[in-house]
A and B are shown apart, each in its own frame.
Chain A
Amino acid sequence: MNAPAYNNRIFAEGVHGVLRVDWRLRCVTPLAIRNGLTIGYDETKINKGRGLGVKFRWREPEESGYEVAILHFGYEIADGSLQTYHYVPASSLRGALRSWTINHLVRPEFRKDMMPPEHDDDPEEKKQKAYLNRMRTALNDPHSGYRPVASLFGLAFETREEARDLAHAGRLRVDTKRFAAAQPRAIAINGKLNDGAAGPANAQRQMTVRNPLDRMTHASKEGGLHHFLEFCAGESFAAQLTILNPRPADLGLLSFWVREMNEGLLRLGALASIGRGRVQITEQSYHLWQRADLTPLQRFESVPDTSTGEVLAGLWCAYRLEAARLPEFESSLREHV
């Protein structure tokens, strides 16, 4: 018997509950979340000296000067002025979760070519259509492992008309809070704090240098020296994951995410190659809010509603899952691969 085709009407019954996941993520190793920009800095040039008298300039580097790649930041208007702050964009965390999920849940033959083609590169939409066909094949196979990925992360296609029966929004929403340093923090170089703070001061940062050596001469490779900032180990930030209309398999997947993150196999940001981006979940809570008439997911215990001013309170009821029970949902996920 053929398996039923992929059902993209995941919101046909509306949104009848959310699983609210609150994590605090602490950087075990430095974390590099870059935004593709560099700033300039000065360094006192002393014969036989190195790394001395560095002063950062929070603006684009001058042509002849030193430059350092900076970390993701955003602006905020507060108290009538424009302020800057560092944060891990939600897209970064969401992307890391998505990549891990594809690489560990989806059958290998469906892992490649799962990126939508560039629109401008495909005037006749041939690539778009081929992409749509690949996705359709993957989704119509209930054991491809692609269904949980699509259901959580959503499916979007340029070829909208042909994809009407596939496209849908994802059930996962990711929000991150900014780093919250108790006091303004400067940039460390070689373990010492630099005098001149540069840019957002809500996270401890350090400047790291890479200097590859030419293989034949062991001299520094010409043009290879580069500097970059990274968030220091020990910095932490809060993240919220909201899963709409949660299913037991979602909790199974969460169990894997937590374990793999804590093991360092699911990392954030760039430069995993030099061990960046290992984070530990130091605090975690799992609350289900579900419409009052529905039976909660197994293993969730009813808890009093302590929300203040929540418009859905009363209409939705609150339940809680002990984090330690998350692995009990793993078998539900296995049914989908």
Chain B
Amino acid sequence: MEKLLKGEGLHNRYRIAGKLRTISPLHIGTGEEDPERIPRIQRSSRQGGATTAVQVSTVIKAADGKPLIPGSALKGVMRHWLLNVLAGVSPEWANTHDDEIETMNDLTQEEQIAKLKNYSWLELLFGTPFHEGKLEAWDALCLTPAISATDNLLHWDKISLTYVDTSVAIDPATGTAKENLLYKAEVVPPGVEFELNLTGQNLSEDELGLVLFALQGFNSDLYPIRVGSRGGRGFGRLQLIPGPIYALQTAAEIRQWIAATMRSYRTGVTKPEEAGYFALPILSEQAQTSLIASVKHKFLTALEARP
């Protein structure tokens, strides 16, 4: 299949559903600190006796107060993982042309499109600073209901499903903790589930294979995708629990889907689960496995062709 951009008509569309479950602590920070997340500390009389607010780095949350994995974060870690794994395979699969972006504005639209189509599959799929990619990741909302704790030692919050983790920086020169480098952060514990939704449009088989390959990166034991901060320190591991992949793959399927949707509207008995994405054919597991195997085979072929 030729290389297509997102805006070049509607050739196919996919929705990849599933769940992501934390299997290690997770912290996707807002970059902000909350002085009221935990009670103020009462200093001893020897230390002046005043109370001091404790700053706690907060995690990003949805409107319902629950933790959230932003789609941008998911897309970012998948892209980063693919880039790392494929960087040495071949520039056709993964490359970066970010330094060319400045010069793009001097080109005509046709020239720009022609240039983009020479970019790697990864860039076409995920986009560049110059163009939008074909893969969208929705914000992954939390599926786990509110749960109470039997103790409040780590300041568990039953709505946001977070506790407060304290880490200490040790100065190697003295071997002791630096009090000013005590760092407190909200953390989502293992066992919390998030709803995963990725959509893709105008994907070649290889691009779809690439997305499925990347998703398996969450479950990699060797080099897993990690989300959020402190990935080098055991944080940010997520287990992918695959769900259905709704696939609108051919022009005939598109026509059929439109016609069926229109019919159901006319009869007035449309049920949510029979409309929209849910009315689409589901990509079989076998097809998924085959797509991943196909791209892996192509990676190996590319490797063999390397000088």
Residues of A within 8 A of B (CB): 11-16, 18, 20, 35-37, 39, 58-60, 70, 73-78, 80-82, 84, 89-91, 94-95, 98-99, 102-103, 111-115, 118, 121, 153-154, 169-170, 172-176, 199, 242, 244, 272, 289, 291-293, 307, 309-312, 314-316
Contacts and interface: CB of A to CB of B under 8 A. Distances in A.
B190 A175 contact: no
Given A77-B161, A81-B147, A291-B303, A244 B153 contact: no
A15 B172 contact: no
Contact of A82 (B150, B175, B296, B306): B150
A15 B189 contact: no
Contact of A316 (B148, B152, B189, B222): B222
Given A76-B191, A77-B190, A91-B234, A14 B88 contact: yes
Contacts of B85: 14-15, 312, 315
B232 interface: yes
Given A36-B166, A91-B167, A170-B232, A75 B154 contact: yes
A19 B251 CA distance: 47
Contacts of B245: none
A8 to B, nearest CB: 16
Contact of B175 (A99, A291, A307): A99
A7 to B, nearest CB: 16
18 contacts: A11-B84, A14-B83, A15-B84, A18-B222, A35-B154, A36-B166, A36-B182, A60-B153, A74-B165, A82-B156, A99-B172, A114-B173, A115-B172, A172-B232, A175-B234, A244-B223, A293-B304, A315-B300
A102 B173 CA distance: 8
B306 A89 contact: no
Contacts of B300: 292, 314-315
Which of A75, A242, A244 has most chain B Cβ within 10 Å?
A75
Interface stretch (B104-112, B199-207, B213-221): B213-221
Contacts of A11: 84, 87
A292 B300 CA distance: 8
Given A115-B178, A173-B232, 18 more contacts: A14-B83, A15-B87, A15-B223, A35-B166, A58-B150, A70-B153, A75-B154, A76-B190, A81-B147, A82-B149, A90-B233, A91-B167, A118-B181, A173-B231, A174-B234, A292-B300, A311-B219, A312-B222
A115 B168 CA distance: 12
A118 B180 contact: yes
B222 A89 contact: no
Nearest to B216: A311
Nearest to B190: A76
Contacts of A170: 232
Contacts of A37: 153-154
Nearest to B214: A311
B219 A95 contact: no
Contacts of A293: 303-304, 306
Contacts of A90: 233-235
Contacts of A121: 180
A320 B279 CA distance: 49
A94 B232 contact: yes
B190 to A, nearest CB: 5
Interface of B: 24-25, 83-89, 94, 144, 147-154, 156, 161, 163, 165-173, 175, 178, 180-182, 187, 189-192, 213, 216-217, 219-223, 230-235, 237, 292, 296, 299-300, 303-304, 306
B21 to A, nearest CB: 9
Contacts of A174: 232-234
Contacts of B83: 14
Contact of A77 (B144, B181, B219): B144
B192 A89 contact: no
Contacts of B165: 74
B150 to A, nearest CB: 7
A307 B151 contact: no
Contact of A39 (B149, B153, B237): B153
A161 B167 CA distance: 27
Contacts of B149: 75, 82
A11 to B, nearest CB: 6
Given A14-B86, A170-B232, A314 B144 contact: no
B176 to A, nearest CB: 9
B234 A14 contact: no
B172 A311 contact: no
B172 A75 contact: no
B80 to A, nearest CB: 10
Contacts of A12: 87
A77 B87 contact: no
B260 to A, nearest CB: 35
Contact of B181 (A80, A81, A112, A115): A115
B151 A309 contact: no
A35 B304 CA distance: 51
A74 B189 contact: yes
Contacts of B230: 91
Contacts of A153: 232
B303 A111 contact: no
A173 B296 CA distance: 25
B167 A289 contact: no
A121 B181 CA distance: 11
A312 B161 contact: no
A309 B25 contact: no
A77 B26 CA distance: 13
Contacts of B169: 95, 115
A315 B220 CA distance: 13
A309 B224 CA distance: 13
A42 B169 CA distance: 33
Contact of A75 (B167, B189, B216): B189
Which of A73, A82, A114, A307 has most chain B Cβ within 10 Å?
A82
